[in-house]
Amino acid sequence: MATAESEREVPSALCTEFLNFSAKDTASKWLQTTDLYKDVYQHLARYVPKIYCLGPNLNPQSEDLLAQLLLQAPLEWYLCGEDPTTGLVKLEKNNQPAQLCGHVFRVGEPTYSCRECAADPTCVLCMQCFLGSVHKEHRYRMTTSGGGGFCDCGDTEAWKKGPYCQKHEPNISDSCQEDPLAHLSTDMVARCYSVFSILLRYAVDMLTWENEDELPPGLEPPDRNDMFYCMLFNDEVHTYEQVIYTLQKAVNCTQKEAVSFATTVDRDGRKSVRFGDFAFCLQAKSVIVRNTSRQSKPLRVQVMHSSVVAHQCFALKALQWLGHVIGYSDALRRILCQVGLENGPEGENTSLVDTLMLSDSKMWKGARNVYHQLLMSSLLMDLKYKKLFAIQFAKNYRRLQTDFMEDDHERVVSVTSLSVQLFTVPTVNYERLQSDYVKDDHDREFSVTDLSVQMFTVPSLARMLIIEENLMTTIIKTFVDHLRHRDVQGRFQFERYTAQQAFKFRRVQSLIGDLKYVLISRPTEWTDQLREKFLEGLDTFLELLKCMQGMDPVVRQVGQHIEMEPEWEAAFTLQMKLTHIISMMQEWCATDERVIIEAYKKCLTALTHCHSGFTDGEQPITLSMCGHSVDTIRYCVSQDKVSIHLPVSRLLAGLHVLLSKMEVAYRFPEQLPLSELSPPMLIEHPLRCLVLCAQVHAGMWRRNGFSLVNQIYYYHNVKCRVEMFDKDLIMLQAGASMMDPNHFLMIVLSRFELYHIFSSADCRKSYNRENTNKDVVQQNNTLIEEMLHLIMMVVGERFEAGIGQVEDCEQIQREIIHQLCIRPMAHSELVKALPENENKETGMERVIDRVALFKKPGVTGRGLYELRPECANQFNLYFHHYSRADQSKAEEAQRKLRRHKGHDTALPPPVLPPFCPLFASLVNILQCDVLLGMLGAVLQWALEPSGGHWSESMLQRVLHLIGMALLEEKQQLENDSEDHDVSFNFTLKMSRPGEAPSNTASVLALLENLQSAPHLEVHKDMIRWILKTVASIKTIREQTASTSTVTASGSHRQEEMVCDKDKAERKRKAEMARLRREKIMAQMSEMQRHFINENKELFQQSLEELDATTSSSLEHSPTSSDTALVCVGPRRTRPGEKRQVVTCILCQEEQEIRVDGKAMVLAAFVQRSTVMSKNRKRPPHDPDRYDPLFMHPDLSFGTHTSSCGHIMHSHCWQRYFEAVQAKEQRRQQRLRVHTSYDVGNGEFLCPLCECLSNTVIPLLPRAKVYSSCEQPGLGQWLNTCGQQIKAMHAAHRKLQPISADAVDQTVDEECPAPEGFRVDYTPLSPYSSTVKEMLTTFGTATYKVGLKVNPNEQDPRVPIMCWGSCAYTIQSIERLLVDEDKPLFGSLPCRQDDCLSSLARFGSACWTAASQSVVQGHFIRLLAALVPDPHVESSRCILDIDMFHLLVSVVLSYGSVHALDSSGLSVDAVQLHLFHLVTVAHMVQILLTSGPGETTMEQDSGGAECEEEEAICRLYNTLKTHLGSSLPEVSSGWHLWQCVKTGILPYLRGAALFFHHLHGAPTPPQLQGPCPGQWEALCGYLGLPSNLLQLYHSQQDLLEPLLQGWCSHSGVRQTLQGVGVLVSFPRESNSLIDLPDDYSALINQASSFTCPKSGGDKSRAPTLCLVCGAMLCSQSYCCQTELEGEDVGACTAHTFVCGAGVGIFLRVRESQVLFLAGKTKGCFYAPPYLDDYGETDQGLRRGNPLHLCRERYRKIQKLWRQHSITEEIGHAQEANQTLVGIDWQHL
């Protein structure tokens, strides 16, 4: 619609009106009127439709200007009573602002919450306030805002400490309580009042107006023109795609326009899609409705009169204006609040704000946003009115929530539509689902109900609302009302939930959030009123819990598997959401004795009500065992209904503990209904639930499917267990403490369905004989194990304050110890394993240092906490929160640790804290008859090794229980030294034999027997520990019994003897262990020998590889140390002749490298690169027309070649590649998914190392050495060369079709070729056919990739690209060596050495595969850049040439010219001359570009190089004579010389690398390490004088004319005057951009970044290019562009410009590094930001402050500089196949 927009013009009629209009006059008219309301409305009626909505576009900027002049200006004049420019300033000056920051957060802006001082986690600071606050030094959390909400700086209720930042610190002189209106004149107040009420009424009228065609009375336009809009609204039902498709059909727009419409609808909630007369719009509407009504409810479309839309637009403007004006003065703000909350004529709840709120769900999103903003900046900023508003809000609460439930327009809309834009990475899906599952939903951000957080979390307001508006009850009632599905008993029923219901259910959950806000701060003082209302709320809450008690019951499936998995998530979601609420309720109760007593009573009543008649229809039975009997009911978990949801029981359990903790139970026992408690009733349901878990573990419920498994999982999971599993256990403890332990155990046995096994008199014998069914035996074994474990937990879990005598922090400390007993863990792992409270705190920080040591991470990995060794004795193998897997891991780790320390491997139970009195009787379970009977039975079974009807873990548990009992006794003896009569006497009981009839052995006797049983080796240490403990207890008892010291010493000796025996035993064991180890070692080395024999080839090969590297490194060492080593020119050092033999990795055959042999190739990867670019602004070249012959010194696009160094026969590789291709074809047909490599593009993985490759480089031998030749001087050679070139020109012309102007030239051109130079000679290629083929292969690949064109081996640019790649690769390696601080030679891995040699030698041979004349032509043009040649038009300016590229190309192309020469001209001599020429040119280039300006360098010791200094001055002056004023004056030759020296060094180093690899001359030792005199060594190796200027001055007469030619090129002057790009030398290595130390600075930067395409909209995925620093709007429709015929996201598009297809980004919102390569490849990489615990936070979920880790960032930079990004992606994709499926190009 862009065209339509530009066609529009402001009507001329308006122009005249506009010119005549005076805001002042209008305002003064208003000041005199009697009916202001009418006048203003008339004014609006007249002007609004003339400004707004005259064309198809609804809100362009120009209209805002008009509105300001015609509408707002008069209002401001009226308001101020004078010129507003002065009036408003006065207002602002008189204002005494409240000390609230109130900054409203943008989407994605960072927010900070202090974990030490914030009243609750919803209290946040903006970045500015945070940085100026004390909390900066505290432990804080950083999150990104979802938009909305404001900074709480200055709110004293939000912060326990430091409520003000420096900026908002109040002045002491301020009288805070003063009425802000006092500063205003009464006139002013009156005026404000009337303007505000008229305008607010107008806005409310318009925004809630539902008539599409008519206007409210008083606003009818004087002249009505009938234009209409077809307005499209958003909804939740339709996807982006559907809307886009429909729009294209309905309003005939392009896809792009449709996308833009859909985006706006999504953002603003509505958008006009057509403008015209009524019929025209109606037609569009009907098409849209028809098109979208088929599957679902149609899209909402209205045809609206343009004047209605116009007034709505201005209404929004007016609200914004109000928000703006009240910003000047708190007094104005207060007036607006007053106006807004004033009741209308209709009575209660009819204020304008009420009207707005209650229409909220009917408004479109854009309108809601505007008025919510106004509410926030007015009512919520004024302390007095905030309270009034809160009351009004609470009054409307129920209705608002109900509307919200029914509302279509909401964020869920945008979320579903977003899912098209946002892809989710499959691997993180699960975690994300999990966190969504429990995370607070932000769904409400577009609803007015979302404002609740601003009021309910203010403690004083919340308390007031509870008392005055009964808010707690209201919220819970509203909540219950919306969950209507119940079963016959009135319980919720979530099975068979429909999608619609599920959606609503999600909404309902937001109510729980509100309840949480209300409860989040606990009262410090209770009033009777508060008690009353809280208990009323609790009553309602119990009603809710009663609906959950016993919901979704399950029945064990026998025979058949269940048909359909029942829905279980809804019930658990509810449970999870309520978990914190339940905990908070308990915490509230814990602050007042009267409240807890009442709450306990209420809860007990509720529970009794739930279970009234729980024995109905159940047959009572009597159980008896070991002389005890008890009555219970007949109930089987495995046959009857059982439910996992028991919130009422669990709440009671929680309150019961509080009775003990608060000591209410002891102080006011008469007020408690303790006598009414029926312990068997209390334990019944929790016990059933625990038995259910045991049976599931035993495999009895397999046929009930995964739904049950999941429920059991969550029951124990850290998110739920606090109010599920933990409380069930507590309930058992509470019940058992009030029962006879024998009775308790019999009921437990009965519920576990094990009673029959242990009850029979001869159970010790019969059990193992009776059952022959293996499954049943197995099941029973597991059940017995689980039951024993349960008994341990009932007796042993005493770390909850109130059960045991512990402090609160001991519980968490114990959790941490047990986690760390499994293995060392990272901070986040620990946090995940610990329950969080409603403030998302685990309390870990307070205790972690007491129990653990922190180990910092390296460059990879993360920081870990390790258990302090002294805490290991607190380890309990049967810790109740261990899963079976955790348990076995911990057991293994702890045994290993003990062995390591030379201890025995017994893991006895730890010493436990004593119980609180209310639970004290629980210990008696350990010494009761039934338990001893059970222990005896298991021990007896264990004595018979062959039985198999017992299990080792059963025995282990029995031993553990015995250990617990012994420790209990020992502890009681030690503590109660005064009272000799310790009633707990396990040692006595355990030595008593069994009952008379069966006459069984005592437990002690059984243990002594077991000690010698050969099949129980593992448990020996534990049994020994038990017997030792028994002995020591006996000693204590004897000691206390008799006062004699003799016995004591005797016992001491006895103990000592035990101890000695112990030591000897341990020694024996250690010896045995050593022998075992030795045996194993011997076995291992035998195996190794065997392995080598079997895999001979493999080893052979790796040895040979080793060999190959050593041979090549031998070349580096000098053959004779006294001759100077030189790598180029006639004097170059000849390397020894050596056959080079390599092995093919595919067929394992050896092969000598020969020109006429079978070709051998290296796997290689060619890529385009901008890593060294000095000009990222240069657009990519047009691939078809680009002439790459000269590389620009900005190195903007290069071609890089790398290799993994693996060698193959060319034919072996071809076969391999064909196989890969065929396989890929089959696979694609079958699976239609990508691989990590693109076979179609020639990519494959190296068959040995799986390194990504896309071609191969042939290996070639060194060029033959020509013996003594003619070695001309420079002048002579230039002469010869000139003649040769002339001859070639002539010859080339003959080949070309004769054109008109060419004919003229040939006439005077008659030049004889120099002697021995045959232009018509076609040299024979020395290479074998396979080598030739490979020359073409690599050449074509380099050409194809380097230019991004289709392969064409005939293209004249093929050899150029090859030389370019050789030069670029050498340059980049030279840079790397400098950056890594490594010597020039000897430090490269051999794969790079091999790669460079092959590249250089390939370069010198590639001309043989191309057309002769073409390559000669290249040589001629290259040389012409330095030596003028009249036949070459437009030679390149030397400032536009990268000299190293020139050197490499000219040297390598010379081969094609030399081949024609038979006169014996020395190649070496020519290469040297070429080298010298280019070097001189480079010096000149450096002097021209980099010489002056560098005055910062301090002059070093003068005189040492005065010869050079003088020479350089002379050269510079020569240049000045040619160029005059373009060159600045330079005073010091020293500066010039330093510039040249540093500037030319990279070039010289590159040249040394190049010639070394080309000719293989050994390298001097000075260049292999960090020695002084590098410069001299380098010049020497290159055959250059160390005073480089001699090159020029010694041949001045020859070079001076050339120099003049270079300087006279027009390009030189232009470039020096600033046209084009001036590159100076040395070119610094590029770095990735600097990142801030604090990650939140990045988040802040990203939050103010707006999408560049959709006017000012926030970007959803701001992404930072780490190469150039550009911020991009990634992963979104708005910024997709077309690239080579495909739609790609902003990142992919950016990589093509910035990184030649390769990109490194930081996804700021996700804190994740993104690597991209091409359109199909990408991976995520760990970001360089770590928290204090040495962990990254990918996805920013944890919110710990993040800081830059420089080492990790350097590592990423190194990957980039090494050109390894693509390789890294390849490896990541191979390791994680899901990465392959992602549409990377859409990022």
CA angle, residues 519, 525, 526, in degrees to nearest 5:
80
Return the number of other C-beta atoms located less than 10 Å from residue 1071's C-beta: 10
Per CB under 5 A, does 1248 bind Zn ion? yes
Measure Cα distances from 685 to 549, 640, 642 in Å.
Answer: 10, 12, 8
Distance of CA 273 to the CA centre of its chain: 38
Pick out residues in 1126-1145 that bind Zn ion (CB under 5 A).
1144
Per CB under 5 A, does 954 bind Zn ion? no
Per CB under 5 A, does 461 bind Zn ion? no
Handedness of CA 1566, 1567, 1572, 1578 (dihedral sign): positive
Per CB under 5 A, does 153 bind Zn ion? yes
Q: Which of 126, 301, 308, 405 binds Zn ion (CB under 5 A)?
A: 126
CA angle, residues 1548, 1549, 1550, in degrees to nearest 5:
90
Handedness of CA 987, 988, 994, 1000 (dihedral sign): positive
Report whether 1153 contacts 1146 (CB < 8 A): no
CA distance 763 to 756: 9
Q: What are 530's two structure tokens?
A: 């508060």
Q: Which of 151, 184, 458, 959 binds Zn ion (CB under 5 A)?
A: 151
Q: Minimum Å distance from CB 1659 to Zn ion?
A: 6
The secondary structure of 1369-1396 as a DSSP string is HHHHHHHHHHHTT--SSS-S-HHHHHHH
Q: Which of 1020, 1206, 1289, 1721 binds Zn ion (CB under 5 A)?
A: 1206
Q: Minimum Å distance from CB 1670 to Zn ion?
A: 5
Residue number, 735 or 1703, with CB nearest to Zn ion: 1703
Q: Minimum Å distance from CB 1346 to Zn ion?
A: 21
Report whether 620 contacts 633 (CB < 8 A): yes
Q: Which of 198, 1251, 1488, 1536 binds Zn ion (CB under 5 A)?
A: 1251
Closest by CA to 742, choosing from 626, 633, 631, 632, is 626
Residue number, 160 or 290, with CB nearest to Zn ion: 160
Q: Which of 98, 204, 247, 1204 binds Zn ion (CB under 5 A)?
A: 1204
- Which residues does residue 801 pair with via DSSP β-bridges, in sequence order? 804
Pick out residues in 1637-1696 that bind Zn ion (CB under 5 A).
1651, 1653, 1665, 1667-1668, 1670, 1673, 1676, 1678-1679
At residue 289, the 3 state secondary structure works out as: helix
CA distance 1418 to 1420: 5
Q: Minimum Å distance from CB 85 to Zn ion?
A: 28
- Which residues does residue 1165 pair with via DSSP β-bridges, in sequence order? 1202
Per CB under 5 A, does 418 bind Zn ion? no
Q: Minimum Å distance from CB 117 to Zn ion?
A: 3
Residue number, 1567 or 1679, with CB nearest to Zn ion: 1679
Pick out residues in 77-106 that bind Zn ion (CB under 5 A).
101, 103
Residue number, 199 or 1212, with CB nearest to Zn ion: 1212
At residue 1496, the 3 state secondary structure works out as: coil
CA distance 853 to 872: 13
Residue number, 1025 or 1197, with CB nearest to Zn ion: 1197
Per CB under 5 A, does 623 bind Zn ion? no
Question: In b/e form, how buried is each residue of 971-1008, taking b as 16+ CB within 10 angstroms?
Answer: bbbeeeeeeeebebebbebbeeebeeeeebbbbbebbe
Pairing type for strands 1729-1730 and 1747-1748 reads: antiparallel
Residue number, 465 or 1667, with CB nearest to Zn ion: 1667
Site string for Zn ion, 32-61 (x = CB under 5 A): ------------------------------
Q: What are 1022's two structure tokens?
A: 């534990």
Q: Minimum Å distance from CB 1650 to Zn ion?
A: 8
Residue number, 1516 or 1677, with CB nearest to Zn ion: 1677
Report whether 1763 contacts 1200 (CB < 8 A): yes
Q: Minimum Å distance from CB 1697 to Zn ion?
A: 8
Q: What are 949's two structure tokens?
A: 């009807």
Distance separating the N- and C-terminal Cα atoms of the chain: 27
Handedness of CA 1486, 1488, 1492, 1493 (dihedral sign): negative
Per CB under 5 A, does 129 bind Zn ion? yes
Cis geometry, peptide bond prior to residue 1626 (ω within 30 degrees of 0): yes
Residue number, 153 or 1335, with CB nearest to Zn ion: 153
List phi, psi (to 5°) of 1145.
-70, -15
Per CB under 5 A, does 1249 bind Zn ion? yes
Per CB under 5 A, does 1209 bind Zn ion? yes
Residue number, 126 or 1469, with CB nearest to Zn ion: 126
Per CB under 5 A, does 1219 bind Zn ion? no
Q: Minimum Å distance from CB 110 to Zn ion?
A: 12
Report whether 1601 contacts 1430 (CB < 8 A): no
Q: Which of 53, 98, 100, 165 binds Zn ion (CB under 5 A)?
A: 165
Pick out residues in 209-238 that bind Zn ion (CB under 5 A).
none
Q: Which of 681, 1141, 1146, 1378 binds Zn ion (CB under 5 A)?
A: 1146
Residue number, 1212 or 1481, with CB nearest to Zn ion: 1212
Report whether 1438 contacts 1425 (CB < 8 A): yes
List phi, psi (to 5°) of 243.
-65, -45
Per CB under 5 A, does 719 bind Zn ion? no
Return the number of other C-beta atoms located less than 10 Å from residue 1691's C-beta: 27
Per CB under 5 A, does 319 bind Zn ion? no
CA distance 387 to 391: 6
CB neighbours of 1205 closer than 8 A, spacing ≥ 6? 1162, 1389, 1390, 1391, 1392, 1394, 1395
Candidates 25-33, 460-468, 1248-1256, 1363-1371; binding stretch for Zn ion (CB under 5 A): 1248-1256
Residue number, 660 or 1202, with CB nearest to Zn ion: 1202
Per CB under 5 A, does 116 bind Zn ion? yes
Residue number, 749 or 1664, with CB nearest to Zn ion: 1664
Distance of CA 1319 to the CA centre of its chain: 66
Residue number, 117 or 1616, with CB nearest to Zn ion: 117
CA distance 220 to 226: 13
Q: Which of 73, 1126, 1142, 1246 binds Zn ion (CB under 5 A)?
A: 1246
Q: Which of 964, 1212, 1313, 1602 binds Zn ion (CB under 5 A)?
A: 1212
Per CB under 5 A, does 168 bind Zn ion? yes
Residue number, 648 or 1251, with CB nearest to Zn ion: 1251
Report whether 309 contacts 228 (CB < 8 A): no
Per CB under 5 A, does 1286 bind Zn ion? no
Residue number, 745 or 1679, with CB nearest to Zn ion: 1679
Q: Minimum Å distance from CB 1562 to Zn ion?
A: 28
Return the number of other C-beta atoms located less than 10 Å from residue 384's C-beta: 13
Per CB under 5 A, does 1158 bind Zn ion? no
Candidates 165-173, 339-347, 370-378, 1474-1482; binding stretch for Zn ion (CB under 5 A): 165-173
CB neighbours of 740 closer than 8 A, spacing ≥ 6? 628, 630
Size of interface with Zn ion, in residues (CB under 5 A): 35
Q: Minimum Å distance from CB 1355 to Zn ion?
A: 29
Q: Minimum Å distance from CB 1641 to Zn ion?
A: 16
Candidates 144-152, 327-335, 1058-1066, 1498-1506; binding stretch for Zn ion (CB under 5 A): 144-152
Interface with Zn ion (CB under 5 A): 101, 103, 114, 116-117, 126, 129, 135, 138, 151, 153, 165, 168, 1144, 1146-1147, 1204, 1206, 1209, 1212, 1246, 1248-1249, 1251, 1651, 1653, 1665, 1667-1668, 1670, 1673, 1676, 1678-1679, 1698
